[in-house]
Structure 1
């Protein structure tokens, strides 16, 4: 399975991100290209532990999280369209797409040296490094497919 912790996979994602521009249009969902790149940057900051985040699993996640995590990380099947964006939804409109792409690319590069044992997904709960790697790839792939790259 593809994982963000594999160098060639990171290179593939960086090439796909580089193909985005301010005129990239969504195939589904509500976010514009800037909102999507900002959302993905915030999401990667969250898993990397860039901010002093208090990680906590939501109540529904305690009930369904492990089952959903297993379903989302058991094979190479891409994430379904129109999945909810979670807490990292970006409501602000407009912004510098090129600048935000560079932020996101930098965060993907940082995954080469990933170490955040405190990470707890707000829905899935505690994840292994392998699960984080697979899901991080799938999350990025999902949004890149959303914009046709």
Structure 2
């Protein structure tokens, strides 16, 4: 399973982040590139326990654990326009904040990968419920891959 603890995949993700620029255009979805960077950083912060969103309401809290084996049992990418946790969205970041947001994401990706399993949250994922460290690493790789693909990198 592809995951963010894999050094080769970490290197690839960081290179892809580096290929983004303030004019990168999305191929689907609503977020501009700077907001996407902030959103991805927040996702990693959730995986590290810095952000602890509340559990999804019914029926998400029932559906999430049921589809968890399908999400974590293969390398299939996330679907376009997949739902997300509201707490992972910030105010729309402006293009002038691009460099700061890109640097923060790169640093957070590096911190997550270098700290390994010890940095992973014990707080349940809002949709999937309790995750083991390797599941957080799989989900963070899929999340980053999804959004980087969204912007063509």
Q: Give, in whole Å, the separation in 2 of the partners of 1:77 and 1:108.
A: 21
Q: Give, in whole Å, the separation in 2 of the partners of 1:16 and 1:58.
A: 31
Match of 1:106? 107
Query: Which moves more between the two structures, 18-27 or 66-75?
Result: 66-75
TM-score, normalised with respect to structure 1:
0.90
Q: Does 1:97 align with 2:98?
A: yes
Match of 2:62? 63
Deviation at 1:117, TM superposition (A): 4.5
Q: Give, in whole Å, the separation in 1 of the partners of 2:84 and 2:33.
A: 14
Deviation at 1:133, TM superposition (A): 1.0
Contact kept in structure 2, 1:61 and 1:125, CA below 8 Å: no
Secondary structure in 1 aligned to 2:147? helix
Q: Does 1:130 align with 2:95?
A: no
Q: Give, in whole Å, the separation in 2 of the partners of 1:15 and 1:67.
A: 34
Q: CA RMSD in A?
A: 1.6
Q: Would the alpha carbon gap of residues 58 and 97 (structure 1) be closer, same or farther in structure 2, given more than 3 Å must change?
A: same
Q: Does 1:120 align with 2:124?
A: yes
The number of equivalent residue pairs is 147
Deviation at 1:73, TM superposition (A): 1.4
Contact kept in structure 2, 1:56 and 1:125, CA below 8 Å: no
Contact kept in structure 1, 2:14 and 2:106, CA below 8 Å: yes
Deviation at 1:26, TM superposition (A): 0.1
Q: Does 1:40 align with 2:40?
A: yes
